[in-house]
Copies of this chain bind each other. A is one copy, B any other.
Amino acid sequence: MRISIIGSGNVATHMAAALKNAGHNIVQVYSRDMQNAALLAYHVKADAINDLQNISPETDLFIIAVKDDAIGRVAEQLAVYDKLIVHTSGATDMYALLAFTDRAGVLYPLQTFSKVKEVNFRQVPLCIEGADEAITKQIEELAQSISNNVYRVDSAQRKILHLAAVFACNFPNYLYEVARQLLNNNQLDFNLLRPLILETAEKVQERLPAQVQTGPAVRNDVGTMNNHLQLLTEQPHLQEIYRLLSQGIIKMDFSPPAHK
């Protein structure tokens, strides 16, 4: 497939490389910043542009990987070429594209990317959506050429997924930081906790979280929980977090779920 990439950030970089590796032809890379465009274009043997006026219509697909609030503006400019256009955003409705073209879809990679860390793209879950069944099939085939984990997810489901990712990724990372600060305030090294953090995430790769829940709350060990709350006397915000999350664990439903 001939593909042009709009954007040069983390998602654009990892996705362009995965597509190139899978044998697709990357035609152009656009970035407002010519240096960024040129860097990514060099890696995937494409032409770099920094003006959407110079976009080539000799492509089969535009992949928009820019900030959420710029998607509409870019889509409007690309729509005149009547090619397939997808965006890569978890939080953006497909309607952001449908407002300008019928040939629209979504190719959302559910992973946290950073330019400094390699990711095995074949394991990245790709959530796809298309304006009609033919387009959905086309995006699905493309997605399967770069990942083993392709899921059809509509715009309403994608919003839930984005919310769930906040609970599963952003909030745990914040709690790691809370733990680091507790250690730091008591001359303890964060390395003490790093293996435990990794093991906790590895355990739920094969099992369900409710099956491997440990700690004082799941045992309803009131004595230990009260001791912990007392240690947090001078940090009322952390006390409140401790109470609220412990209540959630105590009320947790351990019955086997309908879906895994």
A residues sitting closer than 8 Å to B (CB atoms) are 91, 110-112, 114, 117, 119, 123-125, 127, 149, 151, 153, 156-157, 159-205, 208-210, 212-218, 224, 227-228, 231-232, 237, 240-242, 244-245, 247-249, 252, 257-260
Contact = CB atoms under 8 A, between A and B. Distances in A.
A199 B124 CA distance: 10
A119 to B, nearest CB: 7
A174 B166 CA distance: 13
Contacts of A167: 175-176, 178-179, 182, 242
Contacts of A123: 195
Chain multiplicity (copies): 2
B157 A187 contact: yes
A158 B161 CA distance: 38
A11 to B, nearest CB: 12
A182 B163 contact: yes
A192 B161 contact: yes
* Most chain B beta carbons < 10 A, residue from A111, A169, A215, A232: A169
A188 B248 contact: no
A214 B177 contact: no
Contact of A173 (B213, B237, B247, B259): B213
9 contacts: A149-B191, A157-B186, A163-B231, A164-B179, A177-B210, A178-B248, A183-B259, A198-B205, A237-B248
A176 to B, nearest CB: 4
A4 to B, nearest CB: 27
A241 B248 contact: yes
Contact of A175 (B157, B172, B190): B172
A215 B170 contact: yes
Contacts of A224: 91
Given A91-B224, A197-B204, A244-B244, 7 more contacts: A117-B203, A160-B182, A167-B179, A169-B214, A173-B200, A174-B248, A183-B259
Nearest to A168: B179
A198 B188 contact: no
A218 B162 CA distance: 15
Q: Pick the 10 closest A-B CB pairs, nearest first.
A: A170-B215, A201-B201, A172-B172, A168-B179, A177-B209, A176-B209, A164-B179, A167-B179, A164-B182, A169-B200
